Chains A and B, each alone.
Chain A
Amino acid sequence: EVQLVQSGAEVKKPGESLKISCKGSGYSFTSYWIGWVRQMPGKGLEWMGIIYPGDSDTRYSPSFQGQVTISADKSISTAYLQWSSLKASDTAMYYCARQYRGLWSPIYYFDYWGQGTLVTVSS
């Protein structure tokens, strides 16, 4: 069974650093891209970026480039999302999701999702 299990909720102060995780199981972790999606309170979904754990190729949305860092440790089947200096506006639910690629065509979609990690940034 494919599962993505995310780390627990975090409460941080502005300016602090943070790294949240997403552990995959039940499939070949190095063969699928993992994406991160932000959902601010009461708002919609925002595509942040993706990483291919096989070679750590990473793509970022222009909106998030330079604001966060996406990484992965394939030895423990885990992807990460990190901030060096949090802001109150980073308060949100963050989801990781596995990106499936069609066998015969470049069709991409998120087929499995983590349960979400709530990040609260407040002084």
Chain B
Amino acid sequence: DIQMTQSPSSLSASVGDRVTITCRASQSISSYLNWYQQKPGKAPKLLIYAASSLQSGVPSRFSGSGSGTDFTLTISSLQPEDFATYYCQQSYSTSDRTFGGGTKVEIK
């Protein structure tokens, strides 16, 4: 099984801050890494696929980078609507496309 470890598990930030979330895979997954945003009571929403490709309609303040085992999601200037929980997901494995544990972004 490929384990996905996110850090931090939670963070507090202010509107306008630059926020970086990391995701580490237990083995190389090339660039097969996706990022999702989930708000309370809602289904997750795709933000980034293939490590760095922005999903259509997602604001450009979101960006992703990395390959191999280490990846980052960056929000360049945090907006009020960005307070949510973020999950990475590997799609390298054919039968168990595991998610990371999540990072909750809270208002400072």
- Name A's B-contacting residues (CB within 8 A): 35, 37, 44-47, 59-63, 95, 97, 102, 105-111, 113-116
Residue on B nearest A6 in the bound complex, by CB: B43
Q: How far is the CA of A105 from the CA of B53 in the complex (A)?
A: 13
Are A44's CB and B102's CB within 8 A?
Answer: yes
A-B contact count (CB 8 A): 65
Q: Contacts A44-B102, A45-B87, A109-B34 known; A61 to B44 CB distance under 8 Å?
A: no
Q: How far is the CA of A62 from the CA of B38 in the complex (A)?
A: 25
- The answer to whether the Cβ of B81 comes within 8 Å of any Cβ in the partner chain is no
- The answer to whether the Cβ of B66 comes within 8 Å of any Cβ in the partner chain is no
Are B43's CB and A109's CB within 8 A?
Answer: no
Within 8 Å by CB of B94, from A44, A59, A95, A115, lies A59
13 A-B contacts, Cβ less than 8 Å apart?
A44-B87, A44-B99, A45-B87, A47-B89, A47-B99, A59-B95, A97-B44, A105-B50, A107-B32, A107-B50, A108-B32, A108-B97, A110-B44
- The answer to whether the Cβ of B63 comes within 8 Å of any Cβ in the partner chain is no
Query: Among residues 43 to 73 in chain B, which have CB atoms less than 8 Å away from a CB atom of chain A?
Result: 43-46, 49-50, 55
Q: Which residues of B contact A47 (CB under 8 A)?
A: 89, 96-99
Contact with A along B85-108 (1 / 0, CB 8 A): 101010100111111111000000
Q: Which residues of A contact B98 (CB under 8 A)?
A: 47, 61
Within the complex, the shortest CB–CB distance from A92 to chain B, in Å, comes to 14
Q: Which residues of A contact B36 (CB under 8 A)?
A: 45, 110
Residue among A106, A108, A109 with max Cβ neighbours from chain B (10 Å): A109
Within 8 Å by CB of A107, from B44, B91, B100, lies B91
Beyond A44-B100, A111-B46, 16 extra complex contacts between A and B, CB < 8 Å: A37-B99, A45-B36, A47-B89, A47-B98, A47-B99, A59-B95, A59-B96, A60-B95, A61-B96, A62-B1, A97-B44, A107-B50, A108-B97, A109-B50, A113-B43, A113-B44
